[in-house]
C-alpha cells in the first residue's frame, strides 16, 4: 500500500466512527496489504485523533490467547492505542449510539509509574515500572464490517489492527494491587450480562502470564522507537471470549478478591 492509501483508509475509519456507518473490509479492498500497512493505517488514525485534541492514556494488547490467535490464523498478539475519551469509571452508563456493535472483554490493567521500553525489557523491569494492577473491562467495537455481505469473507487480523485493534473503550476498576504481590496467572473473573454468567477465565490465558504480555508490548514498541510512559494504562489482553453488549446490557466482571468492574449500555 502507498502512504496515500494508508491515509484514505484511516479517513474512512474515522468517518465510520463518527457516523456509525461501518466500512468494508480493508483486507478485501487492499488484498496485498501487510501487517506493516495495518499498523501504518492505525498510526494515521491515531495522528488524526491527536490533532483533534485527544490524548494518549495508554495501550491495549489483543489476541493474547491461543483461542483467539487460532481463530485468526496468527501466532502473535496485536496492539492499539488508548485515548482519553475512551476511559469510563466502573458503574458508568454508555450512552446509546456511542458505539456501533459493542462487545466487552475482561482484562488485567497495568498502570505505570515509570517509563518502560527497550528491546530487552525483562519481567523484573515491568514489575518495577508498574504502579499497580487493577481489574478492567475493555469495550470493543468495529468500524469495519465483520464480514463482507457479497463474498462472506470475514475480517482478518489486518482489518482488526488497522481499526485500532478493535478498541473503543476501557472501564477501570477501583481496586488496586501491587503487581509483585499476586500471581496474576491465577487472577480470574466471572463475567455476567444481565445477571447471567457468560464467560469465565484465568489470567494464565494471556500468554501464560499477563506480565509476559506487557513485555511483548514494550519490546514491540522499541522496534518503532516508542515506549510505554509513566501514567499510561496497559490492557494486558483478554482471557475470555468477547461478550456482546446490546442496548440494555449490564455487564459485570467479578474478579473475587482482585475486585469488580461493571458497565451498562443504554
In the chain the first and final C-alpha atoms are separated, in Å, by 39
For cell 463482507, what's the residue? 148
The grid coordinates listed for 134 are 487493577
- Residue 67 has a pLDDT of 67
Do 184 and 211 meet the contact criterion of CB atoms below 8 Å apart?
yes
Q: Are strands 87-89 and 167-172 parallel, antiparallel or unpaired?
A: parallel
- Residue 215 has a pLDDT of 96
Render each residue's pLDDT in the chain as its tens digit; 266 residues.
999 999 999 999 999 999 999 999 999 999 999 999 999 999 999 999 999 999 999 999 998 877 677 766 777 888 999 999 999 999 999 999 999 999 999 999 999 999 999 889 999 999 999 999 999 999 999 999 999 999 999 989 999 999 999 999 999 999 999 999 999 999 999 999 999 999 999 999 999 999 999 999 999 999 888 899 999 999 999 999 999 999 999 999 999 999 999 999 99
Do 78 and 156 meet the contact criterion of CB atoms below 8 Å apart?
no
Q: Please state, in angstroms and rounded to a whole number, the distance separating the CA atoms of residues 89 and 95.
A: 14
Nearest of 135, 110, 134 to residue 121 by alpha carbon: 110
Residues paired with residue 108 on neighbouring β-strands, in sequence order: 135
- Residue 63 has a pLDDT of 84
**Measured CA angle at 206 (ends 84, 81), to 5 deg:** 20
The predicted model scores a pTM of: 0.94
Q: Which domains are present in the chain? A: 55-265 (3.90.850.10)
DSSP string, 12-63: HHHHHHHHS-PBPPHHHHSTT--HHHHHHHHHHHHHHHHHTT--EEEEEEE-
- Residue 71 has a pLDDT of 67
Q: What 3-state DSSP class applies to 261?
A: strand
Residue 72 DSSP symbol: H
- Residue 210 has a pLDDT of 96
Amino acid at each position: 500500500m502507498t502512504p496515500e492509501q494508508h491515509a484514505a483508509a484511516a479517513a474512512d475509519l474515522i468517518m465510520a466512527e463518527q457516523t456509525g456507518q461501518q466500512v468494508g473490509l480493508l483486507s478485501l479492498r487492499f488484498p496485498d496489504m501487510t501487517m506493516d500497512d495495518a499498523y501504518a493505517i492505525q498510526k494515521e488514525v491515531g495522528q488524526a485523533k491527536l490533532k483533534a485534541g485527544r490524548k494518549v492514556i495508554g495501550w491495549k494488547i489483543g489476541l493474547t490467547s491461543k483461542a483467539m490467535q487460532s481463530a485468526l490464523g496468527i501466532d502473535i498478539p496485536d496492539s492499539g492505542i488508548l485515548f482519553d475519551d475512551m476511559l469510563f469509571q466502573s458503574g458508568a452508563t454508555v450512552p446509546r449510539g456511542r458505539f456501533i456493535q459493542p462487545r466487552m472483554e475482561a482484562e488485567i490493567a497495568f498502570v505505570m509509574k515509570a517509563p518502560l521500553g527497550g528491546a530487552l525489557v525483562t519481567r523484573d523491569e515491568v514489575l518495577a515500572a508498574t504502579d499497580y494492577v487493577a481489574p478492567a473491562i475493555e469495550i470493543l467495537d468495529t468500524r469495519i464490517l465483520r464480514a463482507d455481505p457479497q463474498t462472506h469473507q470475514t475480517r482478518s487480523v489486518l482489518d482488526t489492527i488497522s481499526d485500532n485493534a478493535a478498541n473503543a473503550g476501557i472501564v477501570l476498576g477501583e481496586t488496586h494491587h501491587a503487581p509483585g504481590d499476586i500471581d496474576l496467572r491465577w487472577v480470574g473473573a466471572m463475567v455476567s450480562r444481565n445477571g447471567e454468567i457468560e464467560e469465565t477465565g484465568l489470567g494464565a490465558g494471556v500468554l501464560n502470564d499477563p506480565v509476559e504480555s506487557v513485555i511483548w508490548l514494550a519490546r514491540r514498541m522499541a522496534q518503532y522507537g516508542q515506549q510505554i510512559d509513566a501514567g499510561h494504562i496497559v490492557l494486558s489482553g483478554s482471557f475470555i471470549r468477547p461478550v456482546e453488549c446490546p442496548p440494555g446490557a449490564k455487564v459485570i466482571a467479578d474478579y473475587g478478591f482482585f475486585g469488580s468492574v461493571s458497565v451498562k449500555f443504554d
